[in-house]
Structure 1
């Protein structure tokens, strides 16, 4: 019945900082950007080459995440990469701190975590054939 993930919605605290992070640093393509005056809110639609989309929202006075990262709800967002070492090096060059690379004890695949400007945990998963 379900085919794929269509999009992930994220509410940010600083729209311009998060827009730069996801579009300029991480390379998401901007599909559409709209300002909703009645809500004093931006909605930015972003996409990866595989079609995965992020809806980036700004809302005035949105509450902060209650705890990090063990709050109920979305724990983290993961992205696949071909070469995790090169990806980590590139993120570091952009001034983004990345945790040490780990290896999953069950799959043997390497992964690591970093954060978006609001502290949302993001994961890189190395896809090796």
Structure 2
């Protein structure tokens, strides 16, 4: 009887210890790290991102040996912590131009454990990244590939801190990325309830509709834009929705710079429903790149912009 009582006591102690283990805290999610885009014409993409937008390519990556030969992707540097990644892998005109979106975290391993504890499907462990950083990918409720990255000493990125930042850059900050969201409640559960993103504005084509929701990262100023009420988009429409926005102090000056460097934009500068000046540009595969001023010049529609 005594051995049995001892075993029961041991099990109770172990159970109690397990119950007292605190949940893993969410590490910081600092901002947009990059957007990954597909192209079928890398030379044309270089003329747009390098020639028109003025970004340099500090490095690129070739395909891993098990995936064949050739270029995997090239990087256009916006600032030390933000890039536009371009993959020459667009094989079908109907294929989504968006490869993935990425956010910077202070601790990739801790974030992996945190998400696992919340029931999110994550990799079993962190695998080495080709660029020398730490990170992993998850799939959000709408099927978008979402990467979280932690910049590490010695990586391609950190070795080039302070470099490849020319004055030709039309902007030095990606302020948001946008993706199509079909189920706002499901997206909110993932981005707001689990990851800690905060809604800061919503608006629509009319004052009574909600077609866009801005969700700010929990530990920075960048945001993710939900693109709502999008039904069966064609590739061009999807390129409008899946986009990135570059912050500029003056859209007027940005427009003048674009006119000097490349073809006239399809659309003139305009004040958006959020009250901010913006200019829509399109890369050779119809992905929208938005130039946007940081502050509204007139009252935003539909809701105030929270600070």
* TM-based fold match above 0.5: yes
The count of aligned residue pairs is: 126
Q: Write the mapping of 1:107-122 to structure 2, written as runs, cut at 5 A.
A: 108-122=275-289
- Bigger Rg, which one: 2
Structure 1: gaps of 5 or more residues: none
In structure 2, distance between residues paired with 1:110 and 1:7: 23
Using CA pairs below 8 Å that are at least 6 residues apart, which structure has the higher relative contact order? Answer: 1
Give the match for residue 33 of structure 2. 6
Q: TM-score, normalised by structure 1?
A: 0.80
Taking a change above 3 Å as real, the CA distance of residues 72 and 92 of structure 1, as seen in their structure-2 partners, is closer
Structure 1 residue 25: Cα displacement? 2.3
1:75-110 deviation digits (Å, cap 9, x = unpaired):
32111111111111111122233212211334x211
Greater per-residue strand proportion: 1
Does 2:84 correspond to 1:54? yes
SS of the aligned residue for 1:68 comes to helix
TM-score, normalised to structure 2, is: 0.37
1:63: which partner in 2? 92
Higher helix proportion, which one?
2
SS at match of 2:46: helix
Aligned-pair CA distance for 1:39:
4.8
Contact 2:279–2:290 (CA under 8 A) maintained in structure 1? yes
Equivalent residue of 2:37, what SS?
strand
Q: List 4+ stretches of structure 1 deviating above 6 A.
A: none
The farther-off stretch of 2-11 and 46-55 is 46-55
Q: Which runs of 5+ in 2 are unaligned?
A: 1-27, 95-233, 297-307
